Amino acid sequence: MTAAQARATEDAESRGALVELDHVSKFYGNIKALTDVSLEVHAGEISCVLGDNGAGKSTLIKIISGLHQHDAGTFRIDGEDTVLANPRDALDRGIATVYQDLAVVPLMPVWRNFFLGSEPTKGTGPFKRLDVALMRETTRRELLRMGIDLRDVDQPIGTLSGGERQCVAIARAVYFGAKVLVLDEPTAALGVKQSGVVLKYVAAARDAGLGVVLITHNPHHAYLVGDRFVLLKRGAMSGSHTKDDVTLDELTRQMAGGSELEELSHELERAPAPDRLGGGPTGADTP
Each residue's pLDDT tens digit, 150-186: 878 999 999 988 888 888 988 898 898 899 999 998 8
- Centroid of chain to Cα 115: 22
* Residue 181: per-residue pLDDT: 94
Contact 109, 153 (CB under 8 A): yes
pLDDT digits (tens, 9 = 90+) for 49-92: 998 888 889 999 999 999 999 999 999 999 999 999 999 999 99
| pLDDT tier, 45 (very low <50, low <70, confident <90, very high otherwise) | very high
Contact 139, 148 (CB under 8 A): no
* Residue 151: per-residue pLDDT: 78
Please state the pTM of the whole predicted model: 0.79
Instruction: Report d(CA 86, CA 82) in Å as an integer.
Output: 12
* Residue 8: per-residue pLDDT: 46
| pLDDT tier, 5 (very low <50, low <70, confident <90, very high otherwise) | very low
In this structure, which CATH number among 3.40.50.300, 3.90.550.10, 3.40.50.1100, 3.40.50.720 belongs to the domain 3-104+142-148+159-259?
3.40.50.300
User: Which residues, including other chains, have CB under 8 Å from residue 145's CB and lie 6 or more apart?
Assistant: 171
CA angle in degrees (0–180, nearest 5) for 211-252-59 = 50
Instruction: Report d(CA 206, CA 211) in Å as an integer.
Output: 6
Q: Where are the chain's structural domains?
A: 3-104+142-148+159-259
Instruction: Report d(CA 73, CA 39) in Å as an integer.
Output: 12
Best CA proximity match to 25, nearest among 59, 88, 72: 72
* Residue 67: per-residue pLDDT: 92
Cα radius of gyration rounded to whole Å, the chain: 24
AA letter at 52: D
